[in-house]
């Protein structure tokens, strides 16, 4: 399926959508956002990675920053923090540069690696978009975690690609539906910067209390 440009959604939203669909909807349908210490640190951290004035060439390596990308198959548009072009005989041509190159997207994250695949799906969406732009096949990307000061290599596997495609499809359906899903309080809420706006415990508890009360009344 190909999406029209006017229907493209923010690529970075895929990690919010993966984390909590209500969080994604609050940000994208209600434009709610509240910075906490973690998101502010993340912004500062990204400003360093995203400076488009910085472009480097080191021997067989070209490093580009804040690279705009979009994917018509996913219907997503955004920016890659860093894209590395490593010279390789089985790569693809890149602009005016001599030779061919393998392409590696690198996404910067302020914290540390997680059990869940929120960061991996964003990286995969970036890889798919770069593949469409350059006609390349991207085998892996890398996540750089600020707390660890280390990169994690992520294989662009069939499963990760499929998961990313399905999430993008669901994002478009959620955007068309246009309603904010109910809060489903979980351990994730403790890590959520929108806790004060969402108030999951108030909503979740009152809903479940109402439900239990109705059940009692009906017996």
Q: Which residues ranging from 20 to 49 are in contact with ligand SF4 (CB under 6 A)?
A: 20, 22-23, 26
> Is there binding between residue 198 and ligand SF4 (CB under 6 A)?
yes
> Is there binding between residue 102 and ligand SF4 (CB under 6 A)?
no
Residue range at the interface with ligand SF4 (CB under 6 A); choices 85-93, 143-151, 169-177, 187-195: 187-195
Residue range at the interface with ligand SF4 (CB under 6 A); choices 104-112, 127-135, 147-155, 195-203: 195-203
> Is there binding between residue 183 and ligand SF4 (CB under 6 A)?
yes
Minimal distance, residue 22 CB to ligand SF4, in Å: 4
> Is there binding between residue 66 and ligand SF4 (CB under 6 A)?
no
* First and final C-alpha spacing in the chain: 50
Residue range at the interface with ligand SF4 (CB under 6 A); choices 34-42, 126-134, 161-169, 182-190: 182-190
> Is there binding between residue 15 and ligand SF4 (CB under 6 A)?
no
Place of tokens 């539906």: 177
Of 20 and 167, which CB lies nearer to ligand SF4 in the complex structure? 20
- Measured distance CA(45)–CA(91) in Å, rounded: 30
Minimal distance, residue 34 CB to ligand SF4, in Å: 10
> Is there binding between residue 174 and ligand SF4 (CB under 6 A)?
no
Of 93 and 177, which CB lies nearer to ligand SF4 in the complex structure? 177
3-class DSSP assignment, residue 82: strand
Minimal distance, residue 108 CB to ligand SF4, in Å: 23
Minimal distance, residue 48 CB to ligand SF4, in Å: 27
β-strand pairing of 97-109 with 61-71? unpaired
Residues 32, 133, 142, 195: which binds ligand SF4 (CB under 6 A)?
195
> Is there binding between residue 189 and ligand SF4 (CB under 6 A)?
yes
- Measured distance CA(15)–CA(33) in Å, rounded: 15
Tokens of 62: 């070209």
Contacts 24+ apart (CB under 8 A), 101-106: 101/62, 102/136, 102/139, 103/130, 103/134, 103/136, 103/138, 104/138, 104/140, 104/141, 104/142, 105/80, 105/130, 105/138, 105/141, 105/142, 106/80, 106/81, 106/82, 106/141, 106/142, 106/143, 106/144, 106/151
Of 144, 124, 128, the C-alpha closest to 48 is 144
- Measured distance CA(94)–CA(57) in Å, rounded: 13
Binding positions for ligand SF4, rule: CB under 6 A:
20, 22-23, 26, 183-184, 188-189, 192, 194-195, 198, 200
């Amino acid at each position: 399926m190909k999406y029209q440009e006017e229907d493209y959604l923010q690529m970075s939203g895929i990690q919010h959508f993966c984390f909590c669909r209500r969080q994604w909807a609050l940000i994208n349908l209600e434009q709610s956002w509240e910075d906490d210490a973690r998101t502010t640190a993340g912004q500062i951290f990204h400003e360093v990675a995203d400076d488009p004035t910085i472009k480097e060439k080191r021997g067989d390596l070209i490093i580009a920053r804040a690279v705009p990308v979009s994917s018509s198959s996913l219907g997503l548009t955004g920016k890659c923090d860093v894209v590395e072009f490593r010279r390789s005989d089985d790569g693809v041509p890149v602009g005016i540069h001599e030779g061919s190159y393998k392409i590696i997207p690198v996404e910067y994250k302020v914290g540390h690696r997680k059990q869940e695949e929120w960061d991996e799906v964003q990286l995969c969406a970036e890889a798919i978009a770069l593949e469409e732009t350059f006609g390349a096949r991207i085998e892996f990307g890398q996540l750089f975690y600020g707390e660890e000061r280390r990169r994690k290599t992520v294989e662009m596997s069939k499963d990760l690609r499929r998961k990313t495609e399905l999430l993008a499809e669901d994002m478009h359906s959620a955007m068309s539906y246009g309603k904010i899903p109910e809060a489903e309080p979980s351990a994730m809420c403790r890590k959520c910067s929108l806790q004060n706006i969402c108030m999951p415990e108030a909503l979740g508890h009152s809903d479940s209390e109402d439900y239990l009360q109705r059940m009692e009344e009906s017996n």
